[in-house]
Structures are given as C-alpha cells and as structure tokens.
C-alpha cells in the first residue's frame, strides 16, 4: 500500500500528465495558427490580427493550464521539484512554439513594430522559463545532498567509538563527499545560481579535506583531527542551512517571473486587439 506522501505524489503526477496532454494539443495548434502563410506576401491587417490573436491566445491558455498546478507543489520536497521543472519546461516549449508560429507570419506594415515586440516577448519568455527549468533541475539535484550532510557518519559516532569505527566512518564519508563533489563540479549551472554552486562545491571540498585528515591523522594518541572535524561540521551546517534556504527561495521567486511575463503578455494582447 502506498504511503500518504507517495500517494499524493502519484496523484499530482496524474494531474500533471493530464495538463501536459492538454497543453501539448495547444502547442500543436500554435504551429497551425500561422495558416501556412509563408511565401504569399504580407497579410492584410485583419488577417494578421486574426492569426496573431490565435497564437497569443493559445499561449495564454497554455500558460494558464500550467499555472493551475503551481500552488499544489511543495517546494521543500525535492521530489516534487521534478514536476515543477517539467512545468517550466512545458511553458518554455509553449513560448518556443509561439515564436515559431509568429515568425512564420508576414505582417502588414501597420503591424510590423508590434510584430517585433511579440517576437521579442516570445523569445524572452522561452529563455526565462527555460532558465527557470534548468535552475530548478539543479536545485532538485543538490537538495538531497545538502540534507545528507547532516547525516555524515563521523558526525554521529558514539562517544565510545573505537579506532576501527572512526576509520570506517571516515572512509564512508570520504566516498560520499567525493561522489557529491564530482557530481556538482560537472553540473551546468545558469548564471543566477553560479554563486550558490561555487559555495556548494566549496562546502563539499572543505568537508572532504577534514574527513581525510581524520582518516589519515586520527589515532588513539591523537584525537585532534576528529575534534576538528566535529567543530567544523557544526560550523558548516550553518552554511548548508543558509544555502538550502537560498535555493528554495530562488525556486519560489520563479513564479514572480511568470507573473511579469503574463502582465507583459496581457498588454501585448491589448495592442493586438486594438489593431485597426
């Protein structure tokens, strides 16, 4: 039997799949909205207004479908961030489809400036939501690592741990941190998150060095390396908690970017409606 959290995740996945199917149909229609007009000369103003309205309204409808899902996602649960990443990828695809459809139109002179505004908007929307998807993917990958740093074996040794237990814990932590360091160093990170990525790599490297000092320098006669690690781990956990809060906050701020796109899109929609 599924646990409650797993059941809720499954339900969200089903609802999300339904939305994706609906939006995929909208994206397909966006390509048809241009009416295969290429090569036939500029459209009349009325025909252009009709064609670009279909494209712009289709985009608005698709984005609305995705936004219905946002409140249901718990940003603290890294498993649900995969759904959020896919939402933003879907929005980026809609902007890309809108750009392709609009770019196939040959606008009349009276609408040429608005047409360029629309192309710029669709291109910016694709990049903004695409970057959001990439950044959310990065956050989703590193949050479990950050949580795991609280559970390093050396940090949870019993007070009466003997030499063999300390060595085993140090070897385990070294392997864990080497894996995390290797994974994070090769991640591609958007400019918005380069500083957090740098700090994360630094945390993994510093902890690995402290663990290695325990593995090679600790003995029954010299317990200083272990004492240093314990104090350093407490200090670094403050940095880790701050990093986690910053990353989750960054993800939450993506919705404001979409809100801004919607406002700009609404203004452009008014300009389309006012074409005469």
Whether residues 131 and 264 fall in one domain: yes
What's this model's pTM, rounded to 2 decimal places? 0.82
Q: Could you read off the pLDDT of 138-172 as tens digits, one per residue?
A: 999 999 999 999 999 999 999 889 999 999 999 99
Full domain range(s) for residue 34: 4-136+254-273
Whether residues 9 and 119 fall in one domain: yes
Say whether pLDDT at 275 is over 60: yes
Whether residues 132 and 8 fall in one domain: yes
Say whether pLDDT at 258 is over 70: yes
- Total domains in the fold of the chain: 2
Say whether pLDDT at 192 is over 90: yes
Give the model's pLDDT for residue 41: 81
Average pLDDT value for the chain: 87
Give the model's pLDDT for residue 236: 94
Burial annotation 113-140 (CB, 10 A radius, 16+ → b, else e): ebbeebeebbbebbebbbbbbbbbbbbb
Residue located via tokens 């959020």:
84
Whether residues 20 and 129 fall in one domain: yes
Which of 256, 247, 260 minimizes the C-alpha distance to 75?
247
Say whether pLDDT at 242 is over 70: yes
Give the model's pLDDT for residue 151: 93
Listed in sequence order, the DSSP H helices in 33-111 are 45-67, 81-103
Helix or strand run (H / E) with residue 175: helix 163-185
Say whether pLDDT at 25 is over 80: no
What mean pLDDT do residues 75-103 have? 92
| Residue 126 CA to its chain's centroid (Å) | 14
Give the model's pLDDT for residue 211: 97
Say whether pLDDT at 273 is over 50: yes
**Environment class of residue 13 by beta-carbon count within 10 Å: exposed (0-12), middle (13-18) or buried (19+)?**
middle
Whether residues 20 and 44 fall in one domain: yes
Say whether pLDDT at 47 is over 70: yes
Token pair, residue 237, equals 């956990």
Whether residues 173 and 245 fall in one domain: yes
Say whether pLDDT at 133 is over 80: yes
Whether residues 131 and 261 fall in one domain: yes
Are 275 and 45 spatial neighbours (Cβ–Cβ below 8 Å)? yes
Distance CA 94, CA 228 (A): 53
Phi, psi of 42 (to 5 degrees): -60, 145
- The fraction of the chain above a pLDDT of 70, given in percent, is 85
Confidence of residue 71 (pLDDT cuts 50, 70, 90): low
Whether residues 53 and 166 fall in one domain: no
What mean pLDDT do residues 264-274 have? 95
How large is the angle between the packed helices 163-185 and 194-217, nearest 10 degrees? 150
First-residue to last-residue Cα distance in the chain: 61
Whether residues 110 and 9 fall in one domain: yes
Whether residues 227 and 162 fall in one domain: yes
Give the model's pLDDT for residue 36: 47
Whether residues 128 and 24 fall in one domain: yes
Confidence of residue 39 (pLDDT cuts 50, 70, 90): low
Confidence of residue 22 (pLDDT cuts 50, 70, 90): very low
Whether residues 262 and 129 fall in one domain: yes
């Amino acid at each position: 039997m599924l646990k409650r959290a797993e059941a809720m995740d499954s339900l969200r996945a089903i609802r999300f799949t339904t939305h994706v199917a609906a939006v995929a149909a909208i994206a397909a229609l966006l390509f048809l909205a241009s009416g295969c007009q290429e090569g036939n000369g500029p459209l009349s103003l009325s025909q252009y207004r009709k064609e670009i309205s279909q494209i712009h309204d289709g985009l608005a409808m698709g984005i609305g479908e995705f936004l219905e899902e946002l409140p249901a996602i718990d940003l603290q649960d890294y498993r649900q961030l995969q759904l959020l990443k896919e939402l933003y990828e879907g929005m980026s695809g809609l902007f890309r489809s809108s750009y392709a459809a609009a770019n196939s139109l040959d606008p009349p002179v009276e609408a040429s400036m608005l047409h360029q505004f629309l192309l710029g908007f669709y291109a910016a929307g694709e990049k903004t939501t695409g970057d959001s998807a990439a950044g959310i993917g990065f956050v989703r990958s590193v949050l479990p690592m950050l949580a795991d740093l609280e559970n390093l074996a050396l940090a949870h040794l019993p007070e009466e741990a003997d030499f063999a237990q300390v060595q085993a814990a140090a070897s385990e932590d070294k392997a864990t941190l080497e894996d995390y360091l290797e994974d994070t160093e090769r991640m591609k990170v958007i400019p918005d998150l380069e500083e957090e990525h740098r700090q994360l790599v630094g945390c993994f490297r510093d902890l690995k060095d402290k663990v290695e000092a325990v593995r090679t320098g600790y003995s029954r006669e010299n317990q200083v390396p272990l004492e240093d690690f314990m104090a350093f781990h407490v200090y670094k956990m403050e940095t880790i908690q701050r990093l986690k809060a910053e990353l989750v906050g960054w993800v939450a701020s993506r919705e404001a970017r979409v809100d801004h796109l919607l406002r700009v899109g609404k203004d452009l929609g008014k300009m389309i409606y006012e074409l005469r």
